[in-house]
Amino acid sequence: MAEIVVQNVRKTFGDFVAVSDSSFTVQDGEFFVLLGPSGCGKTTTLRMIAGLEVPTSGQIFLDGAEVSQTRPSERDIAFVFQMFALYPHMNVRKNIAYPLVSQGLSRAVVRAKVDEVAQILGIDHILDNPVSGLSGGDRQRVALGRAIVRNPKAFMMDEPLGALDAEFRESMAEELRSLHDRMGATTVYVTHDQLEAMQMGDKIIVMNHGVIEQFGTPQEIYDYPASLFVADFIGSPSMNFLPFQGTVRKGATQVLIDKHTIAIPELLEDADGELILGVRPEHVFLTKNSGLPAKVIATEYLGTSQIVTLETAKSEIKARIDADQCADTGGTVQLEFHSPAISIFNEASGRALQFDRGLMAG
Ligand code: ATP
C-alpha cells in the first residue's frame, strides 16, 4: 500500500520536453489513470514513478519518503507491460513463482503464495500448463500473477490490455478493476483509450504534449472539461463546438449565437474575442418550437439511442436522442441545449471559462 506524490516533475530528452512540470498525488489504494494520445508522456511519467527513468527535475515521494533518485528495486513497485513478457520455457506456476524464487524464499512458502494468487486470478486450474498455449487473457493473468505475488507497494500498468481483442478488452478491464477492488493496492494505469479510463479510473489525469490538461474523477472530466483538448478527447461522439465572437461579462446567464439566445450557467469571469460554446450530444434536444434552426443531415440508429447529425448556420452538431424519436433526414428542426451542462472555451488559450453551476444544478 502506498501514497505516491509527484511534485513538479519534468523530464527532457535533449531539447525535447517529454513531461513538463507535473504535480499530482495518487492516494493510497486508488486506481489512478494516466490518459492521453500517443507520445503525450504517459509512459515516461509511469517509468519515473517506478524508477526506470530519472526525472530531470522535481521530486517523487512514496509513502512520504523521497525516492526520486533511488533504484527501481528499492521502490518495491511492480510494473505490468502491454506485452506480457512471460518465460516461455517455464510453466504457469514457475512463471508466477519467479520473483519469489529470486528472493530465496522456501519452496513451501512459494507454493502457498502462488496457489493463493492463482486462486484470486482464477487460473489455479492451469498452473501446470506451459505458457506457450495460453490465450491472451490467460497470459495477461499470469503476468498479473507474477506482479501480485510479490505483494508490492504499488502497481504500474502500461497499457496492459493493449494487445487483447477489443471485445475481450472490456471484460478483462472489468476483471482488473474488480481485482483492484478486492486487493486495494495503489495502481497507476496508462491508457490512450478514454472509455477504458472512464470505466476503470477513480481519478484520471488527461495529458497532452507532456502537460497535464486536467485532473479529476471521470465524471468531473466528462461533465466539466477544463480545456478544448479534454472536451474533444473524452466522449464518443465528442462534445459539439459552436464558435461565436463577442464579449461576455461576469454574471452573464446567456450568450447570443446565430442571433439566438442560449441560456448558460452564471459566468464567473469576463471574456471576449473568439469563444466556443461546447455541449455534449446527449444535451442537445430536437424541438419544433423555438431554438437554433438546424437541418437533419443523417441519423445513425444504435439500438438504445440514435445519433443525429445536424447542420446549423455555422456548425455541424451531433445529438444523441431516444431510439424511437423521429428525425427525418433533410427536415428542419430547432435545437435546445441543457443549459447547466454547457461549457464555454476561449479559443486562443483553449481554456474553459469558469461558471457558477450550483445555481442551475439539475
Ligand atoms: P505511447 O502510448 O505512444 O507510448 P506515451 O504517452 O506513453 O505514448 P511516452 O512514451 O512517455 O509517451 O513518450 C513521450 C515522448 O517522449 C515521445 O515523443 C517519445 O518519443 C519521447 N521519448 C520517450 N522516451 C524517450 C527516450 N528515451 N529518448 C528520447 N525520446 C523519448
Extended strands (E) in 260-342: 260-263, 266-267, 271-279, 284-287, 292-301, 305-311, 316-322, 332-337
The confidence score (pLDDT) of residue 55 equals 97
Residue whose Cα lies nearest atom 26 of ligand 1: it is: 13
Q: Which atom of ligand 1 is nearest to the CA of 34?
A: 6
Rounded Cα distance, 101 and 10, in Å: 36
Ligand 1 centroid distance, CA of 64 (Å): 28
Complete edge-to-edge strand list for the sheet that includes strand 57-62: 16-26, 4-13, 57-62, 65-66
Question: In the prediction, which pLDDT does 1 show?
Answer: 65
The set of cell numbers assigned to 208 is 497532452
**Residue 86 to residue 96: CA distance in whole angstroms:** 9
Distance in Å, CA 132 to ligand 1 centroid: 30
| Rounded Cα gap, residues 86 and 139, in angstroms | 8
Closest CA relative to residue 154, chosen from 84, 43, 82, 50: 50
State the pairing for strand pair 332-337/343-346: unpaired
278 vs 36: CA distance, rounded Å: 20
Quick one: pLDDT at residue 84? 67
Buried b (16+ CB within 10 A) or exposed e, 77-114: bbbbbbebebeeeebbbbbbbbbbeeeeeeeeebeebb
Beta bridge partners of 99: none
Q: What is the DSSP secondary structure assignment for residue 147, as one 8-state letter?
A: H
> Which residue has the CA at smallest separation from atom 3 of ligand 1?
38
**Measuring from atom 18 of ligand 1, which residue has the nearest CA?**
39
Q: What residue owns the CA closest to ligand 1's atom 5?
A: 39
- Quote the pLDDT of residue 133: 85
Ligand 1 pocket at CB < 6 A: 13, 16, 18, 36, 38-44, 192
Domains of the chain: 4-223 (3.40.50.300), 239-356 (2.40.50.140)
pLDDT at res. 360: 46
User: If DSSP codes are grouped into helix, strand and coil, which group holds residue 207?
Assistant: strand
Q: Which three cell numbers stand for residue 361?
A: 444544478
Closest approach atom of ligand 1 to CA 44: 11
User: Closest ligand 1 atom, CA of 47?
Assistant: 11
Query: Phi and psi at residue 127, in whole multiples of 5°?
Result: -60, -30
> 305: which DSSP letter?
E
Reported in sequence order, the residue ranges of 63-202 that DSSP labels E, i.e. its strands, are 65-66, 77-80, 154-158, 186-191
Ligand 1 center from residue 54 Cα (angstroms): 14
DSSP assignment of 11-63, as one string?
Answer: EEETTEEEEEEEEEEE-TT-EEEEE-STTSSHHHHHHHHHTSS--SEEEEEET
Give the pLDDT score at 361. 43
pLDDT value of position 85: 77
Cell, residue 341: 451542462
Nearest alpha carbon, ligand 1 atom 27: 13
Rounded Cα gap, residues 266 and 264, in angstroms: 6
Query: How many angstroms separate the alpha carbon of residue 44 from the centre of ligand 1?
Result: 6
Beta strand 186-191 with 31-35 is parallel
CA 100 to centroid of ligand 1, rounded, Å? 32
**pLDDT tens for each residue of the chain, 362 residues long:** 699 999 999 999 999 999 999 999 999 999 999 999 999 999 999 999 999 999 999 999 999 999 999 999 889 898 887 666 788 899 999 999 998 998 888 999 999 999 999 988 889 999 999 998 888 888 888 988 998 898 888 999 999 887 777 777 888 888 888 888 888 889 999 999 999 999 999 999 999 999 999 999 999 999 999 999 999 999 999 999 999 998 999 999 999 988 899 999 999 999 999 999 999 999 999 988 788 999 999 999 999 999 999 999 889 999 999 998 888 899 999 999 999 999 999 999 999 999 987 744 43
Ligand 1 mean position to 351 CA, how many Å? 25
Beta strands 77-80 and 154-158: pairing type?
parallel
The pLDDT, as a whole number, for residue 182 is: 84
